[in-house]
Amino acid sequence: MQFLLDSIHVHLFSAFDLTDSLETAKSLRSKLSDKLDGEPVILPVPDDAPSDIPRILLNSKDSKYTCHVSSIRLELSFSEPGLPKYRLDELRNEYLSLISNTLDVVKDQWKSKISGVGIIIELIALAEDPVAYLKNIYIKDGVLTAPTQLQVMYMDKLQWDDIQINRGYRLFAGEFRDESGSRHKMVTMYCDINTLSDEKKDYRKDTIMSISDKAITYVSENIDIVFPQN
């Protein structure tokens, strides 16, 4: 089976100053206009609203790319409408370039301190019998003889240079409904790689780029380990 990229999200955690949300949005969009070419949206969020509610919404006209900014987090996302078409490694350079341009604004113009980084990658593969596929890999014979749904989850920790990384995998069998309404059976691999959140920490641009690159490379190169029958 071939696993293709359904979505990828990078989260940058900080205490963003959104006092002038319009100017903040303009500075970000001017740097990312080749991807985020849709009209920016500024939400009139009350001061007492939860801090994780986005105030700034940027997107591409084809809806593939989005950037949401709240007072504590910036989320930069790629999501493929309909059935995925690309392998993760095929979009690696394009997405890393987008992260780099975003960091030029966040670090150089906004002077923001980044206290945490998270990367979430979701891959899917079409399968005739996704439940049986997962069961044959992760469940012993004679156990759960006829499940209709199956999920596998696990978490561990990695050490990348001097940075401790949390890694979580969620694998599940399910269905995908495309734009025409047709259903497709699939296996999904959801991987969440993130640093420990530390308000005293300030990750430099080169460190964030290294984490992002390693996360994308790691997931791309370890599909055959997660799914040894692939």
User: Which residue ranges make up each domain of the chain?
Assistant: 4-223
198 or 138, which is more confident:
138
The C-alpha atoms of residue 185 and residue 197 are separated, in whole angstroms, by 36
Which among 67, 95, 73 is positioned nearest to 220, based on CA atoms? Answer: 95
What is the structure's pLDDT at 150?
87
Lowest mean pLDDT among 44-48, 110-114, 215-219: 44-48
Which among 102, 83, 99 is positioned nearest to 5, based on CA atoms? Answer: 83
pLDDT tens column, 46-95: 878 899 999 999 999 998 999 999 999 999 999 988 788 999 999 999 99
Helix axes 205-221, 92-103, angle to 10 degrees: 160
**229 falls in which pLDDT band (50, 70, 90)?**
low
Average pLDDT of span 33-46: 90
Helix axes 21-31, 92-103, angle to 10 degrees: 140
**230 falls in which pLDDT band (50, 70, 90)?**
very low
pLDDT tens column, 149-196: 889 999 999 898 889 999 999 999 988 777 777 888 999 999 999 998
Average pLDDT of span 106-119: 95
The C-alpha atoms of residue 79 and residue 223 are separated, in whole angstroms, by 20
